[in-house]
């Protein structure tokens, strides 16, 4: 089974979608001891795939140094409309916004709360980070009037041009999807990720979608690896497989 873990923020006021810096380091140290972190499609004896959504600047500031320190890999899901080429903003400014302020008005431009393309390139070139498309505008793909072609296909083209790196993963914003969105995503990406707290028998996922377990708001560094929690993931995986569910 391939466990894929989903994280968002570090040190954010949005507590259900965040871990503290200390918790993340203790957790990643355990991950490095017990697993081999892989990018989508890669095999290992005891694999785990770490994914971080939304490409907040706190990823570059807190997590990227930890990935280097513990020799780990992570997939970063990027909503390309919010990404600046570069910024002069100070780290303190970039980390200062409350979560609900990040997407308001032109804060993404004035406060640069997301990673820049310069930072994304540096991380990809380090070999510790791969980039996934997380749509262009971070929209719910099932909403009326959404331009699926732009959100799913153009977002990939932009990231590949800016980064000079093949983007073969798509992470569904809010974990939401319908048949049209999944069909288009599967046509353009070998790996399409959702939420759902199940494990994956292979990189085919279940019904063509790769499930992720929640890694935010950890209460202990080893919370995800505790037997009862693991049993829950296995149970859910078997139910999904039996139902042949997406
Ligand atoms: Zn997201």
For residue 237, how far is its CA from the centre of ligand 1 (angstroms)?
23
pTM of the entire predicted model: 0.96
For residue 108, how far is its CA from the centre of ligand 1 (angstroms)?
15
User: 57-114 pLDDT, tens per residue?
Assistant: 999 999 999 999 999 999 999 999 999 999 999 999 999 999 999 999 999 999 999 9
For residue 221, how far is its CA from the centre of ligand 1 (angstroms)?
23
For residue 100, how far is its CA from the centre of ligand 1 (angstroms)?
13
Q: Is the pLDDT of residue 154 over 70?
A: yes
pLDDT of amino acid 244: 74
For residue 54, how far is its CA from the centre of ligand 1 (angstroms)?
5
For residue 177, how far is its CA from the centre of ligand 1 (angstroms)?
13
For residue 232, how far is its CA from the centre of ligand 1 (angstroms)?
24
Report, as an integer, the average pLDDT of 206-233: 96
DSSP symbols for the chain: -B-EEEE-EES-S-GGGEE-HHHHHHHHHHHHHH-EE--TT---SSEEEEEEETTBHHIIIIIHHHHHHTT--EEEEE-GGG--S-----HHHHT-S-HHHHTSTTHHHHT--B--HHHHHHHHHHTSEEEEE--SS---TTSTT--HIIIIIIHHHHHHHHHTS---EEE-GGG---HHHHHHHHHH-SEEE--SS--BSSTTTBTTBB--EE-SS-SSTTGGGSHHHHHHHHHHHHHHHHHT--
- Mean of all residue pLDDT scores within the chain: 96
For residue 78, how far is its CA from the centre of ligand 1 (angstroms)?
8
Q: How confident is the model at residue 176 (pLDDT cuts 50, 70, 90)?
A: very high
For residue 105, how far is its CA from the centre of ligand 1 (angstroms)?
18
For residue 155, how far is its CA from the centre of ligand 1 (angstroms)?
14
For residue 202, how far is its CA from the centre of ligand 1 (angstroms)?
24
Which residues make up the environment of ion ligand 1, defined by Cβ < 5 Å? Answer: 53-54, 173
For residue 222, how far is its CA from the centre of ligand 1 (angstroms)?
24
For residue 138, how far is its CA from the centre of ligand 1 (angstroms)?
6
- The pLDDT > 90 percentage for the chain reads 98
Q: How confident is the model at residue 245 (pLDDT cuts 50, 70, 90)?
A: low
Report, as an integer, the average pLDDT of 192-214: 96
């Amino acid at each position: 089974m391939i466990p894929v873990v989903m994280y968002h923020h570090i040190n954010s006021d949005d507590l259900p979608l965040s871990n503290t810096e200390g918790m993340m380091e203790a957790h990643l140290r355990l991950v490095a001891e017990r697993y081999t972190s892989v990018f989508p499609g890669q095999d290992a004896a005891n694999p785990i795939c770490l994914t971080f959504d939304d490409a907040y600047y706190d990823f570059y500031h807190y997590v990227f140094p930890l990935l280097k320190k513990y020799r780990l890999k992570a997939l970063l899901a990027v909503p390309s409309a919010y990404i600046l080429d570069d910024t002069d903003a100070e780290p303190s400014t970039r980390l200062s916004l409350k979560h609900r302020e990040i997407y308001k008005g032109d804060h993404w431009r004035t406060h640069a709360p997301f990673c820049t393309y310069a930072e994304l390139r540096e991380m990809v070139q380090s070999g510790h980070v791969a980039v996934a498309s997380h749509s262009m505008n971070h929209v719910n793909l099932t909403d009326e009037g959404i331009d699926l072609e732009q959100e799913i296909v153009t977002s990939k083209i932009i990231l590949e041009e800016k980064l000079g790196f093949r983007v073969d993963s798509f992470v569904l914003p809010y974990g939401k999807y319908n048949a049209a969105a999944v069909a288009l995503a599967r046509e353009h990406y070998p790996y399409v990720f959702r939420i759902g707290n199940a494990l994956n028998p292979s990189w085919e996922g279940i019904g063509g979608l790769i499930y992720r377990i929640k890694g935010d708001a950890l209460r202990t560094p080893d919370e995800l690896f505790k037997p009862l929690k693991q049993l829950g993931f296995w149970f859910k995986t078997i139910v999904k497989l039996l139902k042949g569910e997406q």
